[in-house]
Amino acid sequence: MMYLLFSILASTFIFVIFKLFNRFKVNTLHAIVINYVVACISGIIAFKGTISLSSIPNRPWFYYTLGLGVLFIIVFNLMARTTQRSGLAVVSVATKMSVVIPIVFGLLYYNESLDIYKGIGIITALIAVYLASIKKESGITIQASNLILPLLVFLGSGIIDTSLKYLENAFVPAQEVPLFSSVIFSAAAVIGFILIGIQLAKGSFKFEIKNVIAGICLGVPNYFSIYFLVKALQSDLMDSSGIFTVNNVAIVLLSTIVGILLFNEKLLLKNWLGIFLAIISIFLVTVSSLI
């Protein structure tokens, strides 16, 4: 339970930092790249074994982590473009709704159980995520020409979570979780530096120390959000469909509460209903894991 709780807390802290990015006009790409470097270093520090760079490519999970790292940076850029074209609420819904992909994967590939409590809990969680994320009375409006972007965010986020589940189950020993996470972030960092190199070549790069500080602040909780999620998946707390459901909906719930307390966000009636349903969904999925 503690691994899942820590993953939720770390992910919520990421939400707080992203909110501060807007306030201090942080260059998101630059901060994200630094964040990946810090997250990579955090994994190296947390790894208790002896690290041999020449032996890392021989790990069975190595090439998969390179693909995940590339996917991390691609999804990030898709999220940024979606935010610019359709708004933050669209990104939030697309990201959190993607939980349905690893849930379905767990149910079909691993033959995980699906009783009435979990089934209702999963459906309730999806409704809760939508209602808690919409900050306008009119709901979500997406132009047809921009529909592909949130769809790609939805698929990319879902594939990342599904891949984490598959890899930790098939290839990653418990003691190698820090190193596994570190390599993912290092691959993402390399792609990020390539993008910054392109900016340098075009003369559009501008160094600002606040971006470095922001990246450092983001990197540690980002690492632990992945580390603790993988550890939770490796635990016997509940199966992956339950873990992903509780993790995502709890992040939405806690982030909404933090938004109220720290940023004076005003909630609509539908947001309060989303919070209520989030609590109900967590209860139902937890009950399912206990019976």
Q: What is the pLDDT of residue 140?
A: 61
Single-letter amino acid, residue 255: S
Q: What is the pLDDT of residue 141?
A: 63
Blockwise average pLDDT, block size 10, the chain, 291 residues: 92 86 87 94 88 88 92 85 73 86 92 92 92 74 74 93 92 91 93 92 92 94 93 88 92 87 85 92 89 72
- DSSP reduced 3-state for 266: coil
Q: What is the pLDDT of residue 228?
A: 94
Q: What is the pLDDT of residue 135?
A: 72
Q: What is the pLDDT of residue 142?
A: 62
H/E stretch holding 102: helix 100-109
Q: In angstroms, how far is the first alpha carbon of the chain from the final one? A: 16
| Chain centroid, CA 15 distance in Å | 10
Q: What is the pLDDT of residue 88?
A: 67
Q: Which two tokens stand for residue 67?
A: 């693909």
Contact (CB, 8 A) for 186 and 38: no
Contacts of 73 (CB under 8 A, 6+ apart): 32, 36, 188, 191, 192, 195
> Which is nearest to 125 in space by CA: 151, 102, 152?
102
Q: What is the pLDDT of residue 291?
A: 72
The crossing angle, in degrees rounded to 10, of helices 240-263 and 100-109 is 160
b/e sequence 131-152, b meaning 16+ C-beta within 10 Å? bbbbbeeeebebeeeeeebbeb
- How far lies 29's CA from each of 77, 116, 151, 282, in Å? 8, 43, 21, 34
